[in-house]
Amino acid sequence: PRAMRRATARVVGIATKRISRNLERSLDRAARRAHATRAIGALKLWPSVRRLCEEHGVDPETLVPGSGPGGHLIAADVLRRVGAVDAATLEKLGLRPPAIARDERPKTLLEDYEYGLARGQRAEDAATTKMRRTIASRLTESKTRTPHAYASADVDLSEVAALRRRVMDASGLKVSVNDCVMYAVGRALREVPELNAGWDDATGGRRAYESVDVCVAVATDDGLITPIVTRADEKTLTEIGADVKGLAKKAREGALKPHEFMGGSFSVSNLGMFGVDAFSAILNPPQGAIL
């Protein structure tokens, strides 16, 4: 019985030591895997590379840069670390960390200018039409010689949208938001005649206009032109819409007569159809205001 107790104690001790060593090894592997998992989370890895790192408890940060394009880690990097493949085999396959390319892009404005000269940047001069030169001259003179004061407001156009639908249902005619703006401007200038005016260089004072003639900016291939909707305060919405469409067509065809675009008492320039919320227009001289 005594020998049996001693033998049993010895066997239990041996088993306990083995269990302890196995437990230590298991805990060590678990710790390495946990650390590798935390490191993996901070890197962008291929799924196969991620799985190999987790299985073998390899910290991927110790393998950076890898053998893949741009220094990315590939499965062969992990296999080489765990001894499953040797460096010579990787060399034969052409898998080795690439040299880091030197960043030669310009970092300052002066370097950017010199970089452009070194590359021999090319430029092409485009001829300017007589019309565009006239526009540039008139607007430059207006902006530099005429005080510009800007004001803005947000307007709810839900009633305008309802009005457009009613006109469509009643007559089948399409009226645009710009037509409605022109209609409203004509009525507003009739109610506030002080704004239906311009500047007279000859007299050095304000010139009040009897007729409410509203210019509308139209873009053409040759440049911007402003045909005139005459007596806008007396015309209906559909009449204004027809005038704007007809004048815009003639403007793009170059068929406007001088009296159709020279003069006017007020201007409307609309870029809303291009997704523009607001912009700072330049006065159309000698007019005193623009919307």
Give the model confidence (pLDDT) of 129-139 as tens digits.
888 999 999 99
**Confidence check: pLDDT of 197 > 50:** yes
Cross-strand pairs, 207: 198
pLDDT (average), residues 174-195 = 96
pLDDT (average), residues 154-177 = 93
Structure letter (DSSP) for residue 84: S
**Burial code of 75-101, b = ≥16 C-beta within 10 A, e = fewer?**
bbbbbbbeeebeeeebeeeebeeeeee
Residue bearing tokens 């912009």: 279
> How does residue 84 score in pLDDT terms, banded at 50, 70 and 90?
confident
Q: Please answer whether residues 14 and 20 qualify as being in contact, where contact means their C-beta atoms are separated by less than 8 angstroms.
A: no
Q: Residues 239-279: pLDDT tens digits?
A: 999 999 999 999 999 999 999 999 999 999 999 888 888 89
> Degrees (nearest 5) of the Cα angle 80, 81, 86?
30
**Confidence check: pLDDT of 219 > 70:** yes
278 backbone φψ class: left, alpha, beta (φ>0; ψ -120 to 50): beta
Residues constituting the chain? 291
Tokens of 126: 């485009």
Q: Residues 14-71: pLDDT tens digits?
A: 555 555 566 566 556 655 555 555 545 556 777 778 888 888 888 888 887 777 777 7
- Give the pLDDT of residue 53: 84
pLDDT (average), residues 202-216 = 94
**Confidence check: pLDDT of 114 > 80:** no
**Confidence check: pLDDT of 209 > 70:** yes
Q: What are phi and psi of 92, to 5 degrees?
A: -65, -35
Q: Please answer whether residues 212 and 278 qualify as being in contact, where contact means their C-beta atoms are separated by less than 8 angstroms.
A: no
Percent of the chain residues topping a pLDDT of 90:
48
**Confidence check: pLDDT of 143 > 90:** yes
> How does residue 287 score in pLDDT terms, banded at 50, 70 and 90?
very high
Residue bearing tokens 């001069």: 125
| Average predicted confidence (pLDDT) for the chain | 82
Rounded Cα distance between 257 and 100, Å, is 67
- Give the pLDDT of residue 102: 53
